[in-house]
Chain A
Amino acid sequence: MSSQRSIPTEDRISTLPDSVISHILSFLPTEQSAATSILSKRWNPLWLSVLTLNFDEQNFADFATFRHFVYSVMLLRNITLPIQSFRLKCGKSSDFNPHDVNRFIHAVVQRGIQNLNLYLLTPWIRCFKLPQCVLTCNSLTVLKLKWLTMDDFSKVNFPLLKTLHLANISFSKPIYLKRFLHGCPVLEDLQIQNVWLSSYKCGELKGLPKMVKANIDIQGWAFPFAWVRNAKFLCAKLYRPYDCQVPVFHNLTHMKIVFGWTVNALISWKWIGKWTWMTEVLQNCPKLQNLTIHQHFINTSTHGKFIFDEIVNEDWVDPPIVPKCLSSELRTCSLIAYEGLKCEFQFAKYILKNAKALHTMKISALEVDLNIKHQMLMKLSLCPRGSTVCKLSFD
């Protein structure tokens, strides 16, 4: 043990009120919190007054042992004590039983729960369906779901929900995703990673009014960004040309766009005009202060640059009007995995020339060879800068 640890001479922690010790325990997985019951008589009952429950099947030998533990805890705990936060991660063992999980969730949603986190590790074939009782659990402020199927439902009621994270969720029809979001009137933080729908016509939804932060990563269909048009912070990963209309983002100050691509899309992925599209997006972000563009290509030698040079080298055309955010708002611009291709360079040059309030242009090159990097840097540093305080940072 290398940490300098002076041996304490008094038990200070035990002088703290029960609520503070419970607060410490609330950050531990529940089975570890249970173990503190043997520390001393004072500590014995404290774990049962913790308001957060955190169950991870992976810490147990099998599902049978795990379910035994969960049922025991639920029974030992005072029935009138609320459950503020419930985190359940399970589904890996072969003896997994969804009926038990349903019962756990039913027991929990009646107890004033605010923070619900369900992470099912089940393989796709026996995907777990979210119990309907969750959809009307109106005390929720945070809901995080991973690897679930949503059954058809008529109404979702989350009047207090501020944070929603959906990862690997399937809805039978787009209307259900729309209905889901419609039931979250005060939503501020939305994160969507892989949501599957049967078809992709989503239709209109008024922009979620209280949106602050949106993080969207969806392969296979075009998420209607109009739904998050009120956000201040946006991170979007795009795998194919975005063919829907880009809304005006009235409040957006920070934007990150990741151009990703998958091996399957190699043939069909030809986004000629990507950089032009980028400037159109800038037109719709009048308050943008911080822009990051990351080209997340898998740069292996087999697929690699050779093919992309052909696809990506489009002709650059200056947009007819300089986007408003460039004239007065944009402070930092960051290009990650820069390769120095013609249109990338033209884009960077356009920004440098027209961004009158720019402090920093940061370029992170993909290239490893120092000479080539140096040449890229030189080429960029010769570009005229519209802002007198603009620094070019290159690594």
Chain B
Amino acid sequence: MAEEKSQASSSKMLTLKASDGVLFEVELNIAKEMKTVQAYIDDCEDIETIPIPNVLGKHLAIVIEYIKKTNEEYDAEFEKQWNMDDLQLLLLAANYLNISGLQECLCKAIAKRIENKSPEYVRKVFNIENDHSPEEEAKLRKEYKWAFEGVDKD
């Protein structure tokens, strides 16, 4: 792996173990972008394999790639490759691992995908259970009626 000139002299490698057992070897400075991992390292200095119980290998790979490549251009194109399901799982991963740049990028992407969509669509896509009573919902719809005009019938 090519060393960037700005890296610290220690090119220590770390292993991250995803929830499905997939292992990833990453450089220390990449792993440190994940604040959760950083905290783990701070607590136990000699650790070599860090378990990431909430994130599948598939998504951890994407997260690691993001950290390596992030810049204005990359971020703008990043979200286009993933479907809504993956975006949500990636957001959960970014939140768990505490990576603010990735979290921002994903929040923006998810917002873009629900923009101009009806509440029914949003509920479906996020699988949100509607626990409002019909009366409560009717009342809310009336109060915010301008919000429901002109949305995509999806």
Q: List A residues at the B interface (Cβ < 8 Å).
A: 1, 3-17, 20, 23-29, 31-32, 34-41, 43-44, 59-61, 65, 69
Quick check: A11 and B116 within 8 Å, CB to CB? no
Given known contacts A20-B91, A24-B110, is B146 in contact with A65 (CB within 8 Å)?
yes
User: Chain A residues near B40 (CB, 8 Å)?
Assistant: none
Known: A28-B114, A59-B150. A43 touches B128 (CB 8 A): yes
In the complex, which residues of chain A have a beta carbon less than 8 angstroms from the beta carbon of B85? 5-6, 8
Is the CB–CB distance between B108 and A38 below 8 Å? no
The CA-CA distance from A13 to B114 in the complex, in Å, is: 13
Are A9 and B130 CB-contacts (below 8 A) given A16-B92, A28-B115, A69-B146? no
Known: A24-B110, A27-B111. A36 touches B119 (CB 8 A): yes
Q: Which of B84, B107, B114, B127 contacts A23 (CB 8 A)?
A: B107
Majority-rule SS of B interface residues: helix
Q: Which of B51-107 contact A (CB under 8 A)?
A: 83-85, 88-89, 91-92, 95, 103-104, 107
Does residue B131 face the partner (Cβ distance < 8 Å to A)?
yes
Report Cα–Cα, A25/B114, bound state, in Å.
Answer: 10
B95 touches A17 (CB 8 A): yes
How far is it, in angstroms, between the C-alpha of A294 and the C-alpha of B123 when the chains are bound? 48
Question: Which are the 4 A-B pairs with shortest beta-carbon distances?
Answer: A27-B111, A35-B147, A8-B127, A13-B126
A-B contact number at CB 8 A = 107
The answer to the question of B137 belonging to the interface, with a C-beta cut-off of 8 Å to chain A, is: yes
Complex contact A41–B131 (CB within 8 A) = yes
User: With A20-B91, A32-B115 as given contacts, are A11 and B144 in contact (CB-CB < 8 Å)?
Assistant: no
B111, B125, B147, B149: the one within 8 Å of A24 (CB): B111
Closest to A8 in B: B127
Asked if residues B83 and A16 are in contact (CB atoms below 8 Å), the reply is no
Complex: chain B residue closest to A1, CB-CB: B154
Chain B, residue nearest A41 (CB): B131
Q: A5-B83, A39-B130 are in contact. List 15 more A-B contacts (CB 8 A).
A: A5-B85, A7-B124, A8-B88, A9-B127, A12-B126, A26-B111, A28-B114, A29-B115, A31-B146, A36-B122, A38-B119, A38-B144, A40-B128, A40-B129, A40-B130
Asked whether A6 and B150 contact (CB < 8 A) given A36-B122, A37-B140, the answer is no
- List B residues at the A interface (Cβ < 8 Å): 83-85, 88-89, 91-92, 95, 103-104, 107-108, 110-112, 114-116, 119, 122-132, 137, 140-141, 144, 146-151, 154
Q: Contact at A23–B146, with CB atoms within 8 Å?
A: no
Contacts of B132 in A (CB 8 A): 38, 40-41, 44
Nearest CB of B to A393, in Å:
19
Q: List 21 A-B contacts (CB under 8 A).
A: A1-B154, A5-B83, A9-B127, A11-B129, A14-B126, A20-B103, A23-B107, A24-B107, A24-B110, A26-B111, A27-B108, A34-B147, A35-B144, A35-B148, A37-B144, A38-B132, A38-B141, A39-B122, A39-B126, A60-B146, A69-B146
Question: Which of B107, B115, B124, B146 meets A20, CB within 8 Å?
Answer: B107
The smallest C-beta distance from B6 to any residue of chain A, in angstroms, reads 18
Whether the Cβ atoms of A20 and B108 lie closer than 8 Å is no
The answer to whether A23 touches B115, judged by C-beta atoms less than 8 angstroms apart, is no
Also in contact, A23 and B103, with CB within 8 A (given A13-B126, A16-B91, A28-B111): yes
Kindly list chain B residues whose C-beta atoms are within 8 Å of the C-beta of A39: 119, 122-123, 126, 128, 130
Of listed B85, B128, B130, residue having the most chain A CB within 10 A: B128
Q: How far is the CB of B147 from chain A (nearest CB, A)?
A: 4
B residues less than 8 Å from A34 (CB atoms): 144, 147
Contact of A5 among B110, B125, B147 (CB under 8 A): B125
Question: Which of chain B's residues has its CB closest to A69's CB?
Answer: B146
Chain A nearest Cβ from B101, distance in angstroms: 13
A271, B87: Cα distance in complex, Å: 53
CA distance A39 to B132 in the complex (A): 8
Give the complex CA separation of A26 and B91 in angstroms. 15
Alpha-carbon separation in the docked complex, A17 to B91 (Å): 11
Q: Which residue of chain B has its CB nearest to the CB of A13?
A: B126
